[in-house]
Amino acid sequence: MTESGTGRMLLSHNFDLLEGVFPAFSREDLTLVFAEGLSQYSGIKCRQLNHAHWMVEVLFSNHFSPPQVGEFCAQALVNKRMSQGKVDDSFPDVLILAGFKKTPPLSDDPEALQPGQWGVDVVETQSAESFLMAMGWEDKTAGKSIEDVFKVERRKRL
C-alpha cells in the first residue's frame, strides 16, 4: 500500500495505431516515458511493474490531484511522440482514462490495483472520438463524479 498522503496510479497501455506509424512501447520504454516526463515534479515517482496488465506505477503526493497527474502523464506521452518526429495527420490522439478502485483486488499480487487507487488506461489512437464511442465511455461513466473517474484528452491539432 501507499503511505498516508500519497496517491497511487497504475498505468496500462492501449496502443490502437496502425503498425509502422509509431513504434509500440515496451514496458521498459513506457516506464521511461513517464519517469522522465514526470521527473520535473517533486513528489511524483514512477517505477516499472511486472504485472500482467499494469505496466507502470505512479506514486504522487497529495499536493497533486489525480486529474493533474493524469494531465502530466498525457503531456509526457505527447512530448515523447513529438520527439519522434512525426507531427502530421498520423500523430495519435492520447487519452488518459482513469477509474478509482472501490472493490476488492482481483488477486493477492502486491502489484495489483488495490481499493483507493487509480487504474489508468493510457490510450494512443488515431481517433479519440471513435475509441471512446466503441468502448461506450459515456455510458460507463454516466453519473460518476471526478472522485470516481476522469478523462484527459490530447487530440492532434493540425
In the chain, what are the domain boundaries?
6-154
pLDDT tens column, 54-92: 999 999 999 999 999 999 999 999 999 989 877 777 789
Q: What is the mean pLDDT of residues 132-151?
A: 92
Q: What is the mean pLDDT of residues 117-137?
A: 95
Residues 92 and 124 sit within 8 Å (Cβ to Cβ): yes
Whole-number pLDDT of residue 12: 97
The answer to which of 4-8, 66-70, 74-78, 137-141 has the lowest mean pLDDT is: 4-8
Element holding 28 (H helix, E strand): helix 27-37
pLDDT > 70? residue 157: no
Full DSSP string of 61-130:
ETTS-HHHHHHHHHHHHHHHHHHTT--STTSPEEEEEEEE--SPPSSS-TTS--TTSEEEEEEEES-HHH
Whole-number pLDDT of residue 17: 85
More confident residue, 56 or 5: 56
pLDDT > 50? residue 1: no
% residues pLDDT > 70 (the chain): 95
